[in-house]
Structure 1
Amino acid sequence: MASPPERLLNLNEAFPCPICRQGRLEAIVLTDAFACQFCRHIFSANLPEQQVQVVDSSQPLTWRWHGQGWRLVRSENAQELSALVLFTAAVLMIIPASLVWLSGALFPPLTPTEGMPFSTLWAIVTFGAHLSVVLWLVGEYYQVPLYIAAKMRILRSRTTTGQ
């Protein structure tokens, strides 16, 4: 079975969006840039290196076109930033939940209850709430494709039901 022919990145064709994976990248007139018609992100094009870089985000992610799809290009400091983000995320999730659990362990209720202590249950809820906030922040900062696609689908469903 023959594979489809590889295409080069150029401004005359449309390409799938590397962020949302739902839309198509089309060239912006009189520029060396693309825009996605679905998620509305703008990408600067580096045609000799077959790369696009998102320019309307706080995180300048770059993808290389390999003829049939996109591959994320890692920067030199990506490993250091990832370690810092991972450490900060762990601190934001573990410390508040630990403080809630520790307060319940140090100051137990006057009347013992059956089952799981309230402080442990509250620590689990605190951990879950902080985990959801951290996941939201990471999704927004790194423009995670799955997160962006879900966000765009929700936005589109709201606009179609509102009309």
Structure 2
Amino acid sequence: MATQAQRSLDLNDSYPCPVCRHGTIQALVLTDAFACDFCRHILSADLKQQQVQVIDGPQAITWVWEGQRWRVAHGTRREEVSSLIVFSALVLIIVPASLVWLAGFIFPPLSPTSPITFPTLWAFLTFLAHLSLVLWLVGEYYQIPFYVATKVRLFRRRSSPSS
């Protein structure tokens, strides 16, 4: 009998979900695919190469089963984000907040009553709003495990009947 360290990928067994890392993936009937009972992602299985690939997401991310845990397959997912995406994210975060701050600096309040003026506070809130927008987009696109697990938990809490 094989130990857990030597366990190979098999459609008759269940494994931890590589996407959310909270659920368990089990084989779908009459297919070479697995489905997670927590995040509901569907993963196609390649039993010869011991790999699964997300087929219902925006990116085809592939994981290799190492007997006990999953490892992201190299060459299937670009770990380096292109400089254009980073530049666009920084522009989306910094430019609106800078414009709000600049408007408050050029046209200051007539009588500032506190050390933190309304334009400074508004610029900070603009910065936080745009930062949260960029983080949300990154979480949705790359399906970050913490983000997926939190999203599923919130959905289940909302859809569960009240006690």
For normalisation by structure 2, the TM-score amounts to 0.88
Contact in 1 for aligned 2:4/2:67 (Cα 8 Å): no
Q: Deviations over 1:54-92 (max 9, x none)?
A: 011112111111110111224367256443332222111
Contact in 1 for aligned 2:59/2:142 (Cα 8 Å): yes
The DSSP-based 3-state class of the residue aligned with 2:5 is coil
Q: From the superposition, tell whether residues 79 and 20 of structure 1 become closer, same or farther in structure 2 (CA, over 3 Å).
A: closer
The DSSP-based 3-state class of the residue aligned with 2:26 is strand
Distance 1:92 1:43 in 2: 33
Number of aligned residue pairs? 161
Distance 1:80 1:144 in 2: 15
Please identify, of 7-16 and 101-110, the stretch whose mean Cα deviation from structure 2 is larger.
Answer: 101-110
Write the letter of the residue equivalent to 1:20. C
Q: Which residue of 2 aligns with 1:112?
A: 112
Query: What residue ranges of structure 1 are gaps of 5+ in the alignment?
Result: none
Q: Which residue of 1 aligns with 2:152?
A: 152
Q: Which residue of 1 aligns with 2:96?
A: 96
Percent of residue pairs identical: 57
For normalisation by structure 1, the TM-score amounts to 0.88
1:45 aligns with 2:42: no
Q: Which residue of 1 aligns with 2:20?
A: 20
Q: Deviations over 1:29-58 (max 9, x none)?
A: 222111112211111112222111101111
Distance 2:17 2:55 in 1: 14
Output the aligned Cα RMSD.
Answer: 2.0
